Structure 1
Amino acid sequence: MRLRPPLLLVLLAPACYSPDHGGDTAAWPTLGAGPAGDSSSGTTAPGSTSDAPEPTIASTSGWTTDASSTSDPDSTGPDPTDPTTITDSGTTTTGVLPDPSCPRVRVLVPPGEILNVRPQPSTAMAPVGSLASGAIVDVLAIVQGEAIDAVDTWYQVAGNWPEGYVFGAWVECTLDEPSAAGYFLPLECGTTATVTQGNFGPFSHQGTAAYAFDFGLALGTPLVAIEEGTVSHAYGGTMPGDPCYDGGGMECINSANYVTLQHPDGTTSNYAHLSQVSVAVGQYVPRGAVVGLTGSTGWSTGPHAHVARQEGCGQAFCQSIAVQFVDVAPDGIPEGGESVTSQNCP
């Protein structure tokens, strides 16, 4: 950890503050939590998406995935129409091996919502994970499972779970590749910035904000997504001329403009103190795409970017969690006072 005289940091490092400054109080702006279940977000943040559980009976309009229609008797590899007994965790399911023309699937749930990943091809058990709208994952097998609105096709998909299945009506086969794995700096490709406050920083990075980063950047600098995701919450109501647009004390705590993205792994990332929000709730955002411009809105001492990876709690501001940036050597975790250069190049 690089140490700096406290007075110098106070003078030079713009900082952001949250209600948990000191570690004893609740998280950032007071936002209502969404109900438990399959929803992806809360409902009380300005511009936030509404909660909508995964339907018991899903519409199959537009669903075209059919293993028998994509087979090619002359192709090499396994015949996707040949039933195969797939035994996992003691459960025997009749299914087919991955179709050569369907190595991956793209999630088709409405923007802002999530697709539950189940431990078996049915809705009987609690989800083991979730995928954001637009996420692309590898297919391990195509199986028959619980029928919903006459559709019984499920896809076993790769991910951070021992075994996971998604319902066929909410995905489509694709040959597209997923974006590069990992999290990258929230700066446009080639941009260099100084970290004015790192993890467990003395100003405000304690408690729920312990794993956040502040980047010293000029007003209006583009901030980009650290990983692909869907906008679950966004607020841009603090405008030029408003009392808290150029920063302020604790009375400005709920006036920060921000964007929250939900990522395919179920976590979120938050970009706060923006002068301008460039995306809308429900919008799919590729890694490296602009989410907003830096500013000093809310409880802030000067233009900068506050960025954190967070748990997925259904709100805009959740408990921050550790993140390692692929483009930061050697360990992925920049420290306060360190200059970093982004390789977040779409």
Structure 2
Amino acid sequence: MLGIYLQASCIVSLFFSIIISILWWFTEPVLIFLHQTHDISKEAALYLRYLIPGIFAYGLLQNILRFLQMQSVVLPLVGLSLVPLLLHCGLTYVLVYCTTLGYKGAALATSLTFWLAVIMLFIYVNFAKRFEDTWKGLSKESFSYVFTNLKLALPSAAMVVLSTGHLRSWCCWLASCQILKAQLLSLQFAIAYMFTYGLGAATSTRVSNELGAGNTNKAKQAMGVSLKLIIVLASLVLLALGFGHDIWAGFFSGNPSIIKAYASMTILLCISIFFDSIQGILSGVCRGSGWQHLAMYINLGTFYMIGMPIACLLAFKFHFYAKGLWIGVVCGLIAQSSLLFLITKLHQWEALEVSPNNRADF
């Protein structure tokens, strides 16, 4: 049945990919409608159009990764990921610098790399003997489970979209910074986010596995272990940022004003990374437990009813500007993490049962 659910999830992913592709194809008129300049709108649209093939591969890739993770396939997954990574670096350089594509070559290289990863993993799943019991090949039966997957996918997508509300304020703040300082802060935030994203995905898979097996206590234990691990990782990152902010800034610029400005923002960056790490794990728990609708309401309320009003009030009413926007983001993150934690502590953990007709009852 696991292979059937994989195919159904892939069908749902293709549906969302089509919607995103249409939006990306018409990026230029959308950006112009939002009062972006014509030149920037045109270049952004060209870049996204070269990424459209990759969005289809990305959706399939994420489903195959979850299929492998649910069966504790780790080392082969790492090995099969190194080849596309190495190829991506070389292919990007060739397409950007050795062809007339320019920056569009980077988007094309990303699309090609995603498809290579999908093809390699599909071949591995199709021919590896360890998947004989979980993968029986393509089946028409998967179409009967599309609606079941769609009911989970819609609130999950809404939860993720709404959880990125703080990124809008983040982008507004970046637009008001010097380029070098913005590059440095966004790079460090992205590195910390990748730790959270990876561990959150693993937590979601482990929690869903344990609940599917009826082990609610082990699911709670998995959440506790993940929270402790992410706190340790986040603490290491925060120590590196807090005590080495001048060193980090020195890698990008020797301008004393930029180094000083970066140092003044370090405390906000550290708070953002810490609470974003916590909410990343708790969001993974919600996905694995089937509580996406609750997380969606929390994300909607914390960022658009708490974070954004505070950000606008501090930035424009009290003239804190960039710092005011970021303080609003921090307030939204704190509220989000706190409510997600309360849900995981107070909500009743139930096993994911399977009904007599073999449909998962979420």
TM-score, normalized by length of structure 1? 0.22
Structure number with the higher strand fraction is: 1
User: Which one has the bigger helix percentage?
Assistant: 2
